[in-house]
Chains A and B, each alone.
Chain A
Amino acid sequence: MSAKISRDEVAHVARLALLELSDEELDRFTAQLAAVLEHAQDVAALDLAALEPMAHPFPLRNVFRPDEVGPTVDRDEVLAQAPAAEDGRFRVPAILGEEP
C-alpha cells in the first residue's frame, strides 16, 4: 500500500466528512490515523484474491414487509424534536448559491 497518510490528505478527508479541524487537531489526527493504517498493513499485504468480500454475516436477501397500511411514527412528535420546523417540514438555512 501507499506511503503514510499526509496532513493534506487528512485535511481533505475532514472536508469530505463535514468536519473542521484546528491545526493542532490536524497534526494529532495525522499521526494517529497513520498509526492505525500502519497496523492495517498486515491486512493490506495478504493475498486474498480468491476470497469473496463479506459485507454481512448471513445471506438475508429481499426482506419485504407485507404491503399493509399500519401506524407510523407521529409527524408532529418527530418535528417537535427538530432544531427548526415549519409547515410540517424541517427548516434549514439557505441551500442555494453556496459551495457544495
Chain B
Amino acid sequence: MSLVPTARDHATAIAADVRAGRRRAVDVVEAHLAAIAATEDQVHAFNLVTAERALAAAAEIDRRVGEGDDPGPLAGVPVALKDNLCTRGVATTCSSRILAGWEPPYDATVVRRLDRAGAVVIGKTNLDEFAMGSSTENSAFGATRNPHDPARVPGGSSGGSAAAVAAGFAPLALGSDTGGSIRQPAALCGVVGVKPTYGRVSRYGLVAFASSLDQIGPFSATVGDAAICYDAIAGHDPLDATSIPTPLESVAAHLADGVSGLRIGLVREMLEGDLAPEPDVVRRVTAAAEALEAAGAKIDEVSVPAVVYGLSAYYLIAPAEASSNLARFDGVRFGLRVDAPTTAEMMRATRTEGFGAEVKRRIMLGTYALSAGYYDAFYGQAQRVRTLISNEFAAAYERFDLLLGPTSPCVAFPLDAKTADPMTMYLNDVYTIPSNLSGQPAMSVPFGTGEGDLPVGVQLLAPALEEARMFAAAAVLEEAAP
C-alpha cells in the first residue's frame, strides 16, 4: 500500500509562482502541512514538524512579495532538514537520547543559506542515531517507513529526509552523506539524492560524525529541484575550515547541457563479482547506460579494482573519527546528564544511557582501531587504501568524464531484516563509500523499479567539482527513466 502521491508540487514551480505573486507561500506551506497530517503517522519521517515557525516564515515571504521584494530562488519552498543540522532555538536531536532537550544556539550555514534563498523550514527529519546506519531503524524515536511500502525501510541514515520527499511532505530536504547516507535512501525511496564534492557545502552546524567524509546535500523528486537547492547551499564558507574557496558554478545553468560526446565508464566491480547487486539492479544500470549512449555519450567498461576494499577501509576510518567526535557528548555542555558523585562516573553513566547500541558499537570499533598496537595495522592501513582508491579514480578520470554504477545492491528491504547482523547492514553502502573516501561528488537518480515494483536508483560519479557535468547527465537519465 503505497503512500507516494500521484501528483507533486515541485520546488521550481513553487518558487516561480511565489516570486511572481501567483501563489501565496502560506498556502504552499499549509498544503504540505495537510499532506503531513494525512500520512505522517504511517511514515514517521519527522522528529519535529515546525508548523508555526513555517507559517510565520511563509507569511513574511508573502509580505515581502507584496512589497515588490524578491525573496530568492527558493521563495516559499518547504524544506525538511535532517535532524543533525543545527537550528537555532529548535530542538536538534540527531535521533539520540543524549541530545534530549538541546536547542542549538546557532543555525547551520546551510540553514542560513536556505533562509536567505527564501526557503521555509517545515521540520526536522528522523535519522539513524548520529547518522550511523543504513535503514533509519537505529533512531531513539523509532524507525521511519518507506512511503512506497510502509513495511520496508527507507534506507539511511537520512531516511526521514528521503521519505519526506517521497511522501510529498516537502519538495526539498537536506541530508548528510558520510558513506552513502543521502544516496542510498534516495535510491530506496525513488527520489534524487546528491553528495557534493567534499568541501563544496559548508558543514558548519552539522553535528560531526566522521569529519573527513561528511558532506551535506539535497533530496528532491526531480533533478531540476536538486539543482536549485544545490546552487543555494553550496559555496565557500569561512566558518568551515574545510570549505573549498573555488568559485561556485551554477548547476541549474548547465542542466540542459546533455551528454553528447561525454565518455562515461561503467564500473565493472560494482556490477559483477563478489559485490554484484541484485539482477534487477544490474538490469537498471545497463538500461541507464543505454539511455546515456542513445543521448550521445560514449559508454565503456572501466575497472576500479580497489573499490572492493572501500567497505573495510570505511568501517575503520569512520568509527575512528566518530569515536573522537562523539567524545564531546559527556553530559557537561549540552543535552542529557545522568547524575553521579564524580565527573568521570557522571560521564560514563551519561554516555551509557544516552547512546544507542549502534553508536556504542562504532565508538568501540573506532577506539580499538586507534588504540596502541593496532593503529597502523588498521587505521593507517585504511588511510592507505583511501590513497589507493583515489589513485584509481584519478586514473579512470583520465579516460572518462563520468562513471556510472548502482547506488544500492538491493531495493528497500523489510524492517528488521538486517538489524541482527551489523556486517550485513554495512554492505548496503558498498557502492557509495568509495566517493566519500575520495571526496568526489556522486548522486543517485531514480531509474525504474526492481523486485516488488520498488524503486531502483543508479549512481553517477564525477571528478571533484564537476557537479555541473554530473547534473547534466542526471537530467538525461531523468528524461529517459522508465
Contacts and interface: CB of A to CB of B under 8 A. Distances in A.
B163 to A, nearest CB: 27
Given A13-B371, A81-B105, A92-B343, A46 B348 contact: no
A3 interface: no
Nearest to B311: A39
Interface in B320-354: 323, 330-337, 339-349, 351-352
A56 B315 contact: no
B323 A17 contact: yes
Nearest to A15: B348
A3 B87 CA distance: 46
Interface stretch (B26-34, B149-157, B380-388, B397-405): B380-388
B464 A58 contact: yes
B105 A77 contact: yes
Which of A17, A19, A98 has most B Cβ within 10 Å?
A17
Interface string B416-438: 00000111001000000000001
Contact of B346 (A29, A33, A46, A93): A93
A42 to B, nearest CB: 6
Contact of B312 (A43, A60, A63): A43
Interface string B377-396: 11011111111101100000
A92 B382 CA distance: 38
A100 B377 CA distance: 28
Given A33-B365, A58-B244, A60-B242, A94 B343 contact: yes
A21 B351 CA distance: 11
Contact of B423 (A39, A54, A78): A39
Interface in A50-100: 51-58, 60, 63, 65, 73-74, 77-78, 81-84, 90, 92-95, 98-100
Chain B interface secondary structure, helix, strand, loop or mixed?
helix
A54 B363 contact: no
A18 B103 contact: no
Q: How large is the interface on A (under 10, 10 to 19, 20 to 34, 35 or more residues)?
A: 35 or more
Nearest to A16: B367
B199 A57 contact: yes
B354 to A, nearest CB: 10
A53 B363 contact: no
A83 B341 CA distance: 15
B238 A46 contact: no
A54 B384 contact: yes
A23 interface: no
Contacts of A44: 377-378, 381
A53 B105 contact: no
Contacts, number: 178
Given A82-B334, A93-B340, A5 B105 contact: no
Contact of B368 (A9, A43, A77, A94): A9
A73 B106 CA distance: 7
Chain A interface secondary structure, helix, strand, loop or mixed?
loop
A18 B386 CA distance: 29
A53 to B, nearest CB: 3
A81 B102 CA distance: 6
Which of B335, B363, B438 has most A Cβ within 10 Å?
B363
Given A54-B383, A57-B199, A82-B332, A99 B364 contact: no
A24 to B, nearest CB: 11
A70 to B, nearest CB: 10
A43 B313 contact: yes
Given A36-B422, A36-B423, A94-B343, A42 B105 contact: no
Contacts of B336: 83
A19 B360 contact: yes
A74 B381 CA distance: 43
Contacts of B332: 82-83, 90, 92
Interface string B426-458: 100000000000111000000000000000000
Given A33-B365, A90-B332, A57 B439 contact: yes
B309 interface: yes
Nearest to A38: B423
Nearest to A63: B241
B198 interface: yes
Contacts of A83: 331-332, 334-337
A82 to B, nearest CB: 5
A70 B298 CA distance: 52
A77 B360 CA distance: 30
Contacts of B439: 56-58
A57 B316 CA distance: 16
A93 to B, nearest CB: 5
A53 B241 contact: no
26 contacts: A5-B368, A10-B364, A13-B364, A20-B348, A20-B352, A25-B357, A29-B361, A32-B361, A35-B421, A39-B423, A40-B312, A40-B315, A42-B309, A44-B377, A56-B439, A57-B199, A60-B241, A77-B105, A81-B102, A81-B105, A81-B334, A82-B333, A84-B337, A92-B346, A93-B340, A99-B344
7 closest A-B pairs by beta carbon, nearest first, are A57-B439, A53-B383, A83-B337, A48-B384, A54-B386, A98-B342, A43-B312
Given A32-B421, A37-B368, 16 more contacts: A1-B378, A5-B368, A17-B364, A19-B352, A21-B360, A25-B360, A32-B422, A37-B378, A39-B423, A42-B312, A44-B377, A53-B384, A83-B332, A90-B332, A98-B343, A98-B344
